[in-house]
Structure 1
Amino acid sequence: MLLRLTQWQERLNTLETIPKVQLAANVEAVQNHTHFPSMMLVLGRETVSHGAMSNQSRHRVKTEVLLVTGITRRNQPLGPVANASDDELSALREPALKRLINWLPEGCDIPVKWQRGQLLALKSNALFWADVFTVEMWWPLAEENSP
């Protein structure tokens, strides 16, 4: 069973406080987006490790999913933020993080975990922030192993 990002997109698009989440082929496509604020899902790396060996081998597949948030870059004074409502990036990310962390997508065996957040790109007109999530599944599935 392959990970379907459309499940993730549908889950996030039920939130009315964030822009409609779109799918992107890669981070370069995200950075070429020109409408802000924006949120896009990008499939990241897959790491495969061997599980416990018995009659047949099983593999633990760990998949990274990036949720990239883009906002318009503005000049703001240095120093602490005046109030929480001034932080557009946090206001967009928070409901999405809450919606995804510990969610168990269909076909997965281990719930979604948030791994890290990092600045992806800082362009003259926009800031792009990537939140990296992981989800894990066993392959092949137990019923695929049975004779």
Structure 2
Amino acid sequence: MLSLIPWLDRLNALEGLPSVKLAADVEAAKNKVGLPNMMLVLGRETVSHGAMSNQARHRVKTEVLLVTGIKRMNAPLGPVASSGSDELASLRQPALTALINWLPAGCDIPVKWHRGQLLALESHALFWADVFTTEYFWPLEETSP
């Protein structure tokens, strides 16, 4: 199973972002008190099998969700005053840059950005999920007979 500790360390080393925490699931990430916030959630793992010398080798594709929550504000109709007013984009950009093409310890394939989507739009907050994928082979080491 993929450890999210290196992911936390990498994101928390970035300046200008709220402290990134772990969440057990998407619902827990949406219930985090204090906005803006960013939460990492371990997503699904898809396993495919390939032949290896005397044993099966499992290729594990893991999804990691980065859930970003910001306060909803009533904005006047019309053009946005400045490009710096997009809080969601300013939080996501450094995280995307730090994670895309990064190779976490224990992984065999660099991190790819799979998709971004609106997770929830509530009266007080907007929650956005960016889904990243990485892959590794299990067992991690070959065992000798």
Which TM class, normalised by the smaller chain length? over 0.9
CA distance in 2, matches of 1:89, 1:79: 19
Q: Please name the residue that 2:99 is paired with.
A: 100
Which consecutive unaligned segments of at least 5 residues does structure 1 have? none
Shift of 1:20: 0.5
- The letter for the 1-side match of 2:15 is E
Distance 2:5 2:96 in 1: 17
Please give the secondary structure, in 2, of the residue aligned with 1:11: helix
**Where does residue 139 of structure 2 map in the other structure?**
140
> What secondary structure sits across from 1:92 in the alignment?
helix
Answer with 55-64 or 88-97: which moved more.
Answer: 55-64
- Moved >4 Å (runs of 4+): none
What's the offset of the Cα at 1:50? 1.0
C-alpha separation in 2, matches of 1:144 and 1:79: 61
Preserved CA contact (<8 Å) 1:105 1:111 = yes
CA contact (8 A) 1:56 1:145 kept: no
Matched, 1:65 2:64: yes
Q: Tell me which residue corresponds to 1:129.
A: 128
Which residue number in structure 1 is paired with residue 117 of structure 2?
A: 118
Structure 1 position 127, deviation (Å): 0.3
SS at match of 1:129: strand
TM-score, normalization: structure 1? 0.93
Q: Which residue of 2 aligns with 1:38?
A: 37
What is the Cα deviation at residue 82 of structure 1?
Answer: 3.2
1:4-83 paired onto structure 2 within 5 Å: 4-83=3-82
Rounded to whole Å, the distance in 2 between the matches of 1:33 and 1:77 is 28
Gaps of 5+ in 2: none
Which deviates more, 122-131 or 46-55? 46-55
DSSP-derived class of the 2:5 partner: helix
